[in-house]
Structure 1
Amino acid sequence: ALSKKYSKIHVFRLTEKGRGRALKSAWMKSQADVVAYMDVDLSTDLAHLPDAVDLVTSGECSLSVGSRLCKGSHVAGRTIKREIISRCYSILFRALFFVSFRDAQCGFKVVSRQVVNNVIPLVKDTGWFFDTELLIISEKNGYSVCEIPVNWTDDPDTRVNIFRTAWDDVKGLLRIRFGGLAASRKTLSGRPR
């Protein structure tokens, strides 16, 4: 209905599931210089969007991402189990890849067209690990990632199985650590940042 009323709104439907698949499809079809997403439950305060977009449009960074783990963030309603798993995951991917960002899974990201064109085609995951893979491949290939502190409220009705997702994330980390990252560096060498 909105797409009929507003010509700049486009809607498309995917037959297969997966957050990564949906983002990759939408961003590759988009003509925008900057693309963004935030989780539909609005866990991240929408008020952060203008600042996140400004960081990318100004050229200060290639990706700006919301972070629940950096100084200045305010997190409400998160269970201790999820907090511990999130912090352990952060330690793990930072130890494996020596990246600067702390929170790869916050559902709040703004991405430049260069990253969409150059990095998104290299991201293999079509599920929840998509975010982590995107950020690691981007930063390791010279694209800057800026984290911004966010106000974030946990959705108690989430349908995400944290243990299954965590296990899939560990498998994804091992996949890119032992092959995927080297392939992305070879593919992206010589492309402008």
Structure 2
Amino acid sequence: MVNRSLAESKFFNPLSSEYELFPRPSAPPSVDLSVVVPSYNEEERLPVMMEEALGFLEDKVTSHPDFTYEVIVVDDGSIDETTNVALKYAKEHTTDKVRVLTLEQNRGKGGAVRMGVLSCRGRRVLMADADGATKFSDVSRLDDKLNSLPDKKGVAIGSRAHLEQEAMAKRNFLRNLISKVFQMLVWMLCVRTIRDTQCGFKLFSRSEALTLFSTLHVERWAFDVELLYLAEQLKIPLIEVAVNWTEIDGSKLVPVFSWIQMGKDILLIRLRYMLGIWTARDAKKIQ
């Protein structure tokens, strides 16, 4: 398992004004669903996402009283008020339902998601972006598809592939070209079974989530590619599910530069696994 510093393994309880320990990854699950929300300088966009997510989850509790959940907001070293915004929800809903994991330094989206997953209590784990670009209620679609897999275990991946033509019509030629080159690199070098690797809306069964994130090396934007590459190598069932998605202003991706960096990371992912510097055998040991 990934080592965590003492500071990173605690969350602040605004009701008691004390810090409490997150459970260890080896602890048995105690809630039905954990929602991990990586957040970097998201004080403006996070409230919209949290209101939608908590509204949906509380409605589900009302209709299914046995259903339990937690939302873990991982503040990835923000320099704004992201943590304080998230703590307001922890105070309103209690830390049994909302917990805030504040990282002292920025680790990248992959690193933030990993820390959240390894701190969660859920039988299933949802990765959801703080911008609220994906309609949160689509988690029901992912859940249904995950239930259709053998032993109800695997990864259900939210996909925007069905919206590709519409998105391309709105972008300029250069962005479309870079996007196509990126997709081609992913298909050629790493992931063959999933068309949209980058959608930030993925649902995992607990054992698969802990296996994959405990082995993950890439901490920035290309982490999704390594995650799904590992899943393919381990023959973890993957299923792609169309979701509703709307582009939200305020993306942390820097056009062109970020895509080039991600392309470089994909090449390095493939190279390091080919040379045995990284190995899927590490994940098999965890399994």
Where does residue 3 of structure 1 map in the other structure?
Answer: 90
- 1:22 maps to 112
Unpaired segments of 5 or more residues in structure 2?
A: 1-87
- Seen in structure 2, the aligned counterparts of structure 1 residues 26 and 78 have a Cα distance that, compared at 3 Å, is farther
Counterpart AA for 1:47? S
Query: After alignment, is 122-131 or 78-87 more displaced?
Result: 78-87
TM-score (norm 2): 0.59
* Of 14-23 and 163-172, the range deviating more from structure 2: 163-172
User: Contact 1:73/1:151 (CA < 8 Å) preserved in 2?
Assistant: no
When residues 14 and 75 of structure 1 are mapped into structure 2, their CA distance, relative to the original with a 3 A threshold, is farther
More strand, by proportion: 2
Cα distance change, pair 187–99 in 1 and its aligned pair in 2 (3 A): same
**One-letter code of the match for 1:158?**
S
Larger CA Rg, structure 1 vs 2: 2
| 2:260 paired residue among 143, 167, 170 | 167
Note the alpha carbon deviations across 1:98-139, whole angstroms, 9 max, x for none: 520011111111122122221212211111111111111112
In structure 1, distance between residues paired with 2:177 and 2:158: 18
Corresponding residue number in structure 2 for 1:102 = 195
Aligned to 2:28: none
Match of 1:64 among 149, 153, 156: 156
% identical aligned pairs = 25
TM-score by length of 1: 0.84
Could you tell me whether the CA contact under 8 Å between 2:191 and 2:225 is conserved in 1?
A: no
AA paired with 1:174? L
Alpha-carbon distance between aligned partners in 1 of 2:238 and 2:261, rounded to the nearest angstrom:
23
Equivalent-residue separation in structure 2 for 1:8 and 1:55 (angstroms): 25
Q: 2:8 maps to what in 1?
A: none
CA distance in 2, matches of 1:98, 1:22: 22
Relative to 1, partners in 2 of residues 1:140 and 1:31: Cα closer, same or farther, differing over 3 Å? same
Q: What SS class does the counterpart of residue 100 from structure 2 fall into?
A: coil
SS at match of 2:182: helix
Higher relative contact order (CA 8 A, sep 6+): 1
Q: Tell me which of 215, 221, 233 is aligned to 1:128.
A: 221
Q: Structure 1 unaligned runs (5+)? A: none
Q: Distance in 2 between matches of 1:133 and 1:115?
A: 14
RMSD: 2.5
Q: Match for residue 185 of structure 1?
A: 280
Q: Is the 8 A contact 1:75 1:152 kept in 2?
A: no
Q: Name the CA shift for 1:75/1:107 in 2 (closer, same or farther; >3 Å).
A: farther
> 1:6-40: CA deviations, max 9, x gaps?
32322111122211111000000102111112222
Cα distance between partner residues in 2 of 1:74 and 1:61: 32
* 1:23-172 equivalences in 2 (<5 Å): 23-59=113-149, 60=152, 62-69=154-161, 71=162, 78-80=170-172, 81-97=174-190, 99-172=192-265
- Number of residue pairs the alignment of both structures matches: 191
